Amino acid sequence: MPEQSDRSGRPDQSDHTDHFAPDGLRTRGTVVVVPGRGETRATYDRFGSRLAADAYRVRVVDAPALDAGDLPGTLSRFAARLTAAVDGARGVDGTVRPVVVVGSDTGAALVAALYGTAGASVAGVPEAEAVVLAGLPGRAPAAADSWDGELDVRTSCPAHRRVLTDDAGVRRGALNDAVPEELLAAAHDGGTALPALILAGDADPLADRDELHRTAKSSARARLSVVRGARHDVLNDLQHRSVAAEVVTFLETLREDLVPLVTVETSAW
């Protein structure tokens, strides 16, 4: 039986952190979060706690390793990790569905590739009902020559800057690592049949907005939501409350077969 973390989200194992729905509330779904370059699970404590407060079971895994010369192997290992994460989040009544996989940066690229055409030949891909792709990188390098420069690429949120700076596990300079071209092509060109929420900051220097539009249009059921003023770490930037609300709205709409629960009939703003 897989080891579990306590209900505060503090891990008692080496490869994931859990955030649970409040006691007394029925869990509404399972969310697996995949970090990106240089990040640790602690990077997503705030995001995970916020989704859990809305009664979703959230599991954050370690950032996957990329093998630039072996995309099939990278995807196969990633699929195995996701399967273990989903299986380990099973409760007494089984896995609470829908299962939604959220990726950030290269985590988003891997999620897009695995649930797109590139993942069609990968064995053991866990069933999911939807994906969230946040900060999907383009081909532009970060070119940050200092930690402050990398923070400026990532976020303008003082709290998030402090979390990254104080976390000894964060690998500084990681955003300067090139994303393998084969992975980028698979992520942007592969499409996915799953409902997909694509999140991008309009101040993200690593995003290619034209490519993101093409990516959204190549997927059967995708929405591209652009966050005003947000930088690369769109899940954790200054607008994190609104972004988390957008994700929760997507999760709730997914439960309604993508029929929005709220529509605006008239508004002055």
CB count, 10 Å around CB of 248? 18
The tokens describing 231, both together, are 């930088």
* Entry pTM: 0.93
Residue 22 is predicted with a pLDDT of 96
List, in order, residues 6 or more apart from 140 with CB less than 8 Å away. Answer: 205, 206, 208
Residues of the chain with pLDDT below 70 are 1-14
Distances (CA, A) of 245 to 46, 50, 207, 235: 13, 9, 22, 11
223 bridge partner residues: 197
Q: How far apart are CA 225 and CA 165, in angstroms?
A: 28
CB count, 10 Å around CB of 124? 9
Q: What is the pLDDT of residues 210-248, one digit of tens each?
A: 999 999 998 989 999 999 999 999 999 999 999 999 999
Find the radius of gyration of the CA atoms of the chain. 17
Residue 15 is predicted with a pLDDT of 87
Beta carbons of 140 and 211 less than 8 angstroms apart: no
Residue 85 is predicted with a pLDDT of 96
Among 258, 263, 134, CA closest to 194:
258
Residue 93 is predicted with a pLDDT of 76
Residue 4 is predicted with a pLDDT of 41
Asked if the bond preceding 260 is cis, omega within 30° of 0, the reply is no
Task: Determine phi and psi for 159, rounding to 5 degrees.
Answer: -65, -45
Beta carbons of 35 and 42 less than 8 angstroms apart: no
104 bridge partner residues: 134
